[in-house]
Structure 1
């Protein structure tokens, strides 16, 4: 390894230098204050936990994303969190154990063994909100509203909300055996139309089931998708109920956010292995991938001893960097490099009042940013313009 190689970071892992770090930290504080104003309480889970609690309830996707290490104290396997959602669920179900509705929010680094999407970071800063204890669409509406407000605060423009419901897919595949369902799932994820035709041709299924399987792949687009879904899936009561729930949810979102476009994907499978109801994501004209995503994941607390209705969303603060304006550089005060005790007291009082005070050092490039300085005059230190 050469000296130059010592400074290389792993692919997909990046550091934030002062300019970008200031932007992300400013947004993190602003958003956590926003969540607090909505009644969401901040939690700070640990970076690593035993895999028995960290990887339960969220399917194989999170399992594959998680780095594992051995605890040198106990010999047990631990994981470096790839998602804070299961940690928040554990806190709700076990550490807090409250009855009724609980609202939690969080912000922290997570690590991924591989990027979740092309060009995505393997070390995101995940920020999100989770609502536990209510199974109605009212809590889905609250979470979606908070997600859209989050992106508005971050400066995202021309937002589109993508809505789906895993109950529609589950209803259609209820008659399939496990192997066939897995093939169908893979085909839908890849939108491989030719493979779907081949699969349907070889399956000894009723024509109505094949029609539903073929048609589901086409149920994405604008509002007419819901009517097409009602017509195609009228023999599937659970699917119809899910479509009606989406229709209601979409109408309520439109009332609150008339400027947000809606897109429906009734074959949406993101998070299928742990989501149980509505799933949603938000996109912006400023970015080529979803900026935020979430959904309902009822009963995740069952593995911790308390099954709880749950819905939530999360974002990667790093992915929002391109949307954020540069932070305005605040005015600074220059203090001479003196050991005078009175100067020290003056500097400390100014810092306590919120001022930025920089002691002058040889070659200090920050000196040029100072618009005021402390000068000694008439036996005291005075603040004057530079």
Structure 2
């Protein structure tokens, strides 16, 4: 019986063929170069770690999304990373614990989850990002929003827009200004996130209804949020949002959805999601958070950062990439001339036999008498 499924890949996983791989490398290099130009030093982390390590550095990390199995050497539970941010947090709290703050780090790598998000079946994605460790100030948040925009722009994204949110909004209001029972908080968050007015009232959050309308273009939405904040509980956050928006002004279209929670498992007072024209879905998100330390460290270290997931951008760029200029080198070609042409940017493909066809091999030019002749 013929084996017909030996080359199948699991759902949500896939290869990148040459044109897609070239686009991926271009995006990765451009984005990381942009981060490095702002002083962010690159770190690399393992794809596997002990589950406890991945789950203990950030509040809200969901271990149920990770592939987990027992390490035959240590007999401890291992997990495939689903988010590199937690690993960078570990590095900051251990190997770089004594490094001067604020500490600027960036990274790149593949992450894997047990299942995709919503209707998206993809389970392996490229994650690029930057973390600023030691502060979660407005200035830090603004710097990271600017760098995220720049990284996507130089990578090839157009028409970038950024949506701001306040991930701890309900907790902040429920603590004093608009009290909620502990059992109501999760339901109110969920109804606000779903934009369900009726469900919000049923959950005991009628006082939170104005937040459903403090959504849209930043200038309009921030005024509605300020009008809602009659007690001034959100005054500091509103001022922070205005300052960040002023820093970003003109670099991207800005919107505000203060109660958005999707994808913000561990962010604190500020969060943002970033989009680009012609690319379905978001390309990343970021915000402020805290890195949890060792035993007895309840507060943790403040930090801010962002993660980009540029796979949709890579697919779009791969489809638009122009054909390569590739020079065919016939048998017996001058190797010094070929080396000189590669040094000035040519890609060369050398013939291995007389039967090699330059056009079939994807070449655009042929080397003849020391010159590149168009095919």
TM-score by length of 2: 0.86
Q: Is the 8 A contact 2:200 2:206 kept in 1?
A: no
Residue in structure 2 matched with residue 62 of structure 1 by the alignment: 62
Unaligned runs of 5+ in 1: 201-209, 375-381
Q: Paired residue for 1:383, among 352, 357, 370?
A: 370
Unaligned runs of 5+ in 2: none
- Evaluate the alpha carbon distance shift between residue 275 and residue 22 of structure 1 in structure 2; reply closer, same or farther with a 3 A threshold: same
**C-alpha deviation, 1:120, in angstroms:** 5.5
Q: Paired residue for 1:244, among 219, 232, 239?
A: 239
Residue in structure 1 matched with residue 150 of structure 2 by the alignment: 149
Q: Residues 169-203 of structure 1: CA distance to partner in whole angstroms, max 9, x if unpaired?
A: 22223232332112222222222222222223xxx
Residue in structure 2 matched with residue 359 of structure 1 by the alignment: 350
Which 10-residue stretch deviates more, 87-96 or 346-355?
346-355
**C-alpha deviation, 1:292, in angstroms:** 1.9
Is 2:28 the partner of 1:28?
yes
Equivalent residue pairs, number: 361
Residue in structure 2 matched with residue 371 of structure 1 by the alignment: 365
Q: Paired residue for 1:189, among 190, 193, 197?
A: 193
Is 2:305 the partner of 1:312?
yes
**Largest Rg, 1 or 2:** 1
- Map 1:1-386; keep pairs closer than 5 Å: 3-60=3-60, 62-97=62-97, 98-119=99-120, 121-174=122-175, 175-200=179-204, 210-222=205-217, 223-235=219-231, 237=233, 239-254=234-249, 258=250, 260-297=252-289, 299-303=290-294, 307-324=300-317, 325-326=320-321, 328-336=323-331, 355-361=346-352, 364=356, 367=361, 369=363, 371-373=365-367, 383-386=370-373
Instruction: Please report the RMSD computed on the Cα atoms of aligned residues, expressed in angstroms.
Output: 2.7
Q: 3-state DSSP class of the match of 1:277?
A: coil
Q: Is the 8 A contact 1:12 1:120 kept in 2?
A: yes
- Evaluate the alpha carbon distance shift between residue 349 and residue 157 of structure 1 in structure 2; reply closer, same or farther with a 3 A threshold: closer
Q: Residues 26-85 of structure 1: CA distance to partner in whole angstroms, max 9, x if unpaired?
A: 221122222211111111100010011112244455322211121111110011000000
Residue in structure 2 matched with residue 378 of structure 1 by the alignment: none
Cα distance between partner residues in 2 of 1:68 and 1:272: 23
Cα distance between partner residues in 2 of 1:385 and 1:261: 45
- Evaluate the alpha carbon distance shift between residue 173 and residue 120 of structure 1 in structure 2; reply closer, same or farther with a 3 A threshold: farther
Q: 3-state DSSP class of the match of 2:282?
A: coil
Which 10-residue stretch deviates more, 243-252 or 60-69?
60-69
Q: Is the 8 A contact 2:31 2:152 kept in 1?
A: no
Q: 3-state DSSP class of the match of 2:104?
A: strand
**C-alpha deviation, 1:247, in angstroms:** 1.6
**C-alpha deviation, 1:303, in angstroms:** 4.6
- Evaluate the alpha carbon distance shift between residue 348 and residue 322 of structure 1 in structure 2; reply closer, same or farther with a 3 A threshold: closer
Cα distance between partner residues in 1 of 2:130 and 2:293: 20
Cα distance between partner residues in 2 of 1:62 and 1:216: 27
- Evaluate the alpha carbon distance shift between residue 365 and residue 265 of structure 1 in structure 2; reply closer, same or farther with a 3 A threshold: farther
Q: Is the 8 A contact 2:189 2:259 kept in 1?
A: no
Which 10-residue stretch deviates more, 356-365 or 133-142?
356-365
- Evaluate the alpha carbon distance shift between residue 260 and residue 354 of structure 1 in structure 2; reply closer, same or farther with a 3 A threshold: closer
- Evaluate the alpha carbon distance shift between residue 83 and residue 2 of structure 1 in structure 2; reply closer, same or farther with a 3 A threshold: farther
The structure with the greater share of residues assigned to helix is 1
Cα distance between partner residues in 1 of 2:33 and 2:251: 24
Q: Is the 8 A contact 2:195 2:212 kept in 1?
A: yes
- Evaluate the alpha carbon distance shift between residue 214 and residue 14 of structure 1 in structure 2; reply closer, same or farther with a 3 A threshold: same
TM-score by length of 1: 0.84
**C-alpha deviation, 1:157, in angstroms:** 2.4
**C-alpha deviation, 1:368, in angstroms:** 5.2
- Evaluate the alpha carbon distance shift between residue 55 and residue 61 of structure 1 in structure 2; reply closer, same or farther with a 3 A threshold: closer
- Evaluate the alpha carbon distance shift between residue 251 and residue 219 of structure 1 in structure 2; reply closer, same or farther with a 3 A threshold: same
**C-alpha deviation, 1:364, in angstroms:** 4.4
Which 10-residue stretch deviates more, 352-361 or 92-101?
352-361
Q: 3-state DSSP class of the match of 1:269?
A: coil
Q: 3-state DSSP class of the match of 1:217?
A: helix
**C-alpha deviation, 1:242, in angstroms:** 1.2
